[in-house]
A = this chain, B = another copy of it.
Amino acid sequence: MPSEKLANRERRRHQGENRVTLEDVARHAGVAPITVSRALNTPEKVSAKLRERVDHAVKVLGYVPNLIAGGLASAGTKVIPVVVPSLSILTFIEVIHGIQQTLENAGYQVLLGSTDYDLNREAALVDSVLGYSPSGVIMTGLHHRDTTVQRLKAWGRPVVELMELGTSFIDMNVGVETSEAGGCMASHLVERGYRRIAFLGTGMERDYRARYRYQAHREVLERAGLDGTLLFQNEEPASYEAGRRVFLEALEARPDIDAIHFANDNLAAGAIMEANRQGIRVPEDVAIGGYLGLSLAEHLTPRLTTVALPRFEMGVKAAEMMLDRLAGRERHSQRVDLGYRLAVREST
């Protein structure tokens, strides 16, 4: 025989938590709960007199809106997951910085996810963060598992994919033509008259964008009648030390190399610093070019020639595209090319 239904008060959950709710604020202010909600969220719909009473009650009671309940009731939160392959690579850090600053200023929160270049992990992460009913998702790169693409398309809310540009993207795409950017450095080295140009990279097994750049590098060299297969790589994560090591490896294997195209500036910087220590003159003995545009590039001796990406701006733009979409504005194209810049300095 079922027991009698408990009164609401008796059946209460989370005993002892005793948090102030919107209902408490409503009672204190002498208005309906929905008026408190309106006062906080759409104050223009509430008279000045009642707004004042509500604001006072909020202050006196120390009320903090429960965004979980609000999110459930309105089918969404002001959270934007940002999914990147790595948090130890400065590129993504600067992008995140641009995103976070722009979104936070617009009243949104960034949920941070890192896939470690693993598409299965990305798929699981996307499933997980969608559970928070975010307003949209910002993710890195155009390569995903089919399930991830399908899931996000079916989800139907704004998605920005950033870094490289492509012709096929889920919703919006912002970045640079990554192959073209790689080819740009190769062209520069060829135009400078170098003949035995090597490509040095690390972690390229996982970093397909670096592979694209090598591809483009190769094509440029072969079109110029040069050997594009001088490639030195390993799977170390990119670092100054990795750059130092792969640089020494390359010079030992092929002392005739007259220019090196590094997959990124960290590697290039490590090489330049090692060259300085060993009395190898850059660019006299070997020219060095990088990719990314780290600020360090301007301070090295010699200053590093690099292909500079607008990383922080990319983050800002991705966030702006997201916010415009969320606000129902269509100010941006769905595909935005931010362009890169060849910064020719002393190292070539």
Contact = CB atoms under 8 A, between A and B. Distances in A.
Contacts of A234: none
Contacts of A97: 87-88
A69 B17 CA distance: 18
Contacts of A88: 94, 97
A215 interface: no
Contact of A127 (B64, B244, B269, B296): B64
Nearest to A126: B64
A111 B114 contact: no
A13 interface: yes
A81 B154 CA distance: 29
A145 interface: no
A270 to B, nearest CB: 6
Main secondary structure of the interface of A (DSSP, over half): helix
B66 A69 contact: no
Interface stretch (A172-180, A191-199, A204-212, A272-280): A272-280
A294 B87 CA distance: 16
A97 to B, nearest CB: 4
Nearest to A271: B299
A272 to B, nearest CB: 9
Interface in A135-175: 151, 154
A347 to B, nearest CB: 14
Copies in the complex: 2
B114 A112 contact: no
A3 interface: no
A152 to B, nearest CB: 11
A14 B70 CA distance: 14
Interface stretch (A72-80, A181-189, A224-232, A328-336): A72-80
Contact of A273 (B17, B274, B299): B299
Interface residues of A, number: 59
Contacts of A67: 128, 131-133
Given A72-B68, A75-B17, A300-B273, A100 B128 contact: no
Contact of A151 (B62, B66, B128): B62
A87 B101 CA distance: 9
A240 interface: yes
A93 interface: yes
A344 B150 CA distance: 54
Nearest to A73: B13
A101 B79 contact: no
Given A68-B71, A114-B101, A132 B77 contact: yes
Given A64-B127, A82-B112, 4 more contacts: A64-B131, A68-B77, A112-B112, A276-B276
26 contacts: A14-B75, A62-B154, A64-B127, A64-B131, A64-B151, A65-B131, A66-B72, A66-B133, A67-B128, A67-B132, A67-B133, A68-B77, A68-B133, A72-B72, A87-B93, A87-B96, A88-B97, A100-B112, A109-B112, A110-B111, A112-B112, A240-B299, A241-B295, A241-B298, A244-B299, A273-B300
